[in-house]
Structure 1
């Protein structure tokens, strides 16, 4: 199958959306499918205000359409609601071409957290953007409930996976992390205001707090919380070593749709403490994590979880299954009567 994938999120960005898309692309290509990735690196771009590592591509809908037509795509998937996604949507709707979308990010909540804008204003755009899609791909039942509550019922499940060859309990540990006083409490992810990292750093459970990642809030948090250990980003084997070295992964976000870092940590044998929010409530159960509105309750409970149970639990999340769900959800490309403009 020839699949055109349009996304505003792509390398060198580092986030769960990029990791999901690259993992599924790699899985599908290994199966013999051909993918055209239409991403910001193909176009002139501008830095996103307040988030300069994210580039906003400058592309016309006709340019996107020509790329899709020249590729002779069998299906079109629009992964994000940014400028490229908007241009692809405009072309597909104008030409009567079927397409699918995905809801990767709690975009209205992110905008509200960063700007103070009322999230309901952003939901108007989200509803408009996704309405003409044949299906909106979602990662969890909690996200389904949110979208249905906002008038978007045409949903298909698209779960997530973990690289079980990289993220294992066997392997080296991070010497910097293991030298710290325990229990070692680890955060992994973007260092940004919408991730509620301060909720973690303000918790009072004894031990060491470690932050692995980069982002626009790094300088502020480093200055504000000098007792925490900010180690910068880690990838691949180095990230797996960080997970293995921790006693618990703390996932303080209230705005994620899934939380890939949780299943990566579990695959390395590290239990998870989290808030009761979309993502954790769908991904975790009591055998491998602890969920509570008070992280000072969740963290000590998570520390009692069996690491072998965490490893076994993570094995159910595979990129092969994720890729199969993605493939099954695509809409064959043909000219149809448009549902919405």
Structure 2
């Protein structure tokens, strides 16, 4: 068997959720190039329990607990490595339960994943879901992967993009209340987002640069010239006009009831969603399980599933791993090219 030339770091997510399950399932079914290996970070007893409870194979070539053993495993040709933690006390572990312990384990696995990339052991990070309440219970300030990875790498502004079977959606804002998200749509901030998204799309072969970048409207029918709100007139249209004056091929605002479908059909290279649910609803209605998230402008590539920890089905063998499979395959594709 060909020895892996590069590795993807895979933190476990919240151990009480479906993260470890979809990791084990995806390891079995993901079609990865022979030169790509995996380093999964999580507590070995959690994976052992899960494998026994669900009759899944924990298909690891090596289990390591510190850097020197990791180097030995990589040098020995291991392609599926478990980098074990010692955080989860199995006497207090339960599937589907919010706990500070599992929040700490999830955060620690993300920290280790970043360290593995920074030290040259891995090229990209692929993430299963976190649970925000568990992170908060653990006293973690940042409660989402984008925020956590940005803080760990001192990244000023990482950009989230969804990829749903070719439909590519960037987000102007993420975890804000709806009122705060509306207030965050200003000419200057949106212009910055347009410039950033244009730069990203021009740096990757994943985008068709013969197509325009689109901006979704905020209000119904993009405000109908001020009949349903003035954000389009005051902020969105001026930002687009300024971007166009700088040579950026961007159009809009286009009504949110149309622009996502049009982008899926190949009319635009990508669409900028102005707030969290606007783009999430479009992507997940199209294909909930296979929507993945790609985070740009970190020092490394990060791909992720775009669903939650599904505590209601954790430990029952019902989790659909297709999103995790796509996240692994997309990360492998980007890092190999």
Same fold by TM (over 0.5)? Answer: no
State TM-score, norm by structure 2.
Answer: 0.31
RCO (CA 8 Å, sep 6+): is it higher in 1 or 2?
A: 2
